[in-house]
Chains A and B, each alone.
Chain A
Amino acid sequence: MSDQGSHYGERDPTGPGLPRLGSATDGFDTELHFVLTADWVSPSLARERIRRWLGERRWPRLRIDELVLAVNEVVSNSIEHGYGLTADKPKPVLGVVEVDGRVSVGDSGSSRAVVTVTDHGNWREPDPGPSNRGRGMLLTRACTDNVVTEHRGDGTTVVLYSRPIPPPLVE
């Protein structure tokens, strides 16, 4: 059993010396962590951070666009359904949405991003009938390989697994 702690990389995603794609050993590097307030500005901040994080790793643009869209939908869902802010009825709430990202490199050298979105809001089952929430989940699933949702007593955690990208041709 490997010691994952020995593979932990830089905490600052904007800093120099980031592990280059394909240079990491098997396992996970904890590479991205940020906390957002439950506010409608927050999805744009999350998108910017994810785009910068993977852009610095020179990920294919399609893969970046997919993950940016998926993270946007999950963060928006936490704000709207976890904390109860709707676009037409914004109200101040005290709450945060935490986002963690890491790049996992498999045995074949291909990489995938794993992004965890955690809120501490009160999960509510979606209302029956047409809802934009279903559309958000459809986008999220279509843009990722796998989505794992865990409803805890004190909130919800969603883990997004991106589609894999192949190893770089040149180290």
Chain B
Amino acid sequence: MIPAGDERTPDGRAHAVRGPSREQLLDVAIDEGDAALVVAVQGELDALTAPRLTVALNDAFARLAGRILVLDLTHVGFLGSAGLLVLLDSARSAAGMPGHQAMRVVVGRNRPVVLPIEIVGPRSRPGHLRECERRHHRVSHGHGRCSTRSTRKW
């Protein structure tokens, strides 16, 4: 099990946790629970890898069946504008679905993810400013474990 929190080494160059292979750059895992469907992303979200997240999220939306969609970006080491576009498009898709519930994005204190979201979040989605406030949300994991993490709604 991957430990939660800040896994960067003190020199800020590498991740102590095992990440996706260099060729792959990004791993996406879907964890299905009764109340939530958790899409856990590990690696780097740029123009090369963002389309793969789009495919995974489209698949998750199709299987949602009234559950909450949680996108876990706690172990993402880079998030650029291409990745942000996927988040915003997916949030729009979630909003357009019948019986919609806002997609939850889990970011923890992961600065490479928090930094770009803080920059564009309020400007891109002014109506969701309040929804973007951090709050604690219990995320259920497959092995009966629960962890408390900071999440934001889009």
A44 and B12 within 8 A (CB): no
The residues of A that contact B51 with a CB separation of less than 8 Å are 87-88
Q: Does A40 contact B (CB under 8 A)?
A: yes
Supply 29 A–B pairs (Cβ within 8 Å), ascending by A: A41-B48, A44-B25, A44-B46, A44-B48, A47-B46, A51-B13, A55-B13, A58-B11, A59-B12, A61-B111, A64-B12, A66-B115, A68-B112, A69-B80, A69-B112, A69-B115, A72-B78, A73-B80, A76-B80, A88-B51, A132-B81, A132-B82, A132-B85, A136-B80, A136-B81, A138-B120, A138-B123, A139-B80, A139-B116
Residues of B near A66 (CB, < 8 A) are: 115
Q: Would you call B119 an interface residue if the criterion is a C-beta within 8 Å of the partner chain's C-beta atoms?
A: yes
A73 touching B81, Cβ below 8 Å: yes
Interface contact B12-A43, CB-CB below 8 Å:
no
Number of interface residues of A (CB under 8 A): 31
| Majority SS at the chain A contact face | helix
B interface residue numbers (CB < 8 A to A) = 8, 11-13, 25, 44, 46-48, 50-51, 78, 80-82, 84-85, 111-112, 115-116, 119-120, 123-124
> What is the CA–CA distance of A118 and B79 in the complex, to the nearest angstrom?
23
Q: Determine if A152 is an interface residue (Cβ-Cβ < 8 Å).
A: no
Residues in A whose Cβ lies below 8 Å from that of B82 = 76, 87, 132
- Residues of chain B lying within 8 A (CB to CB) of residue A148: none
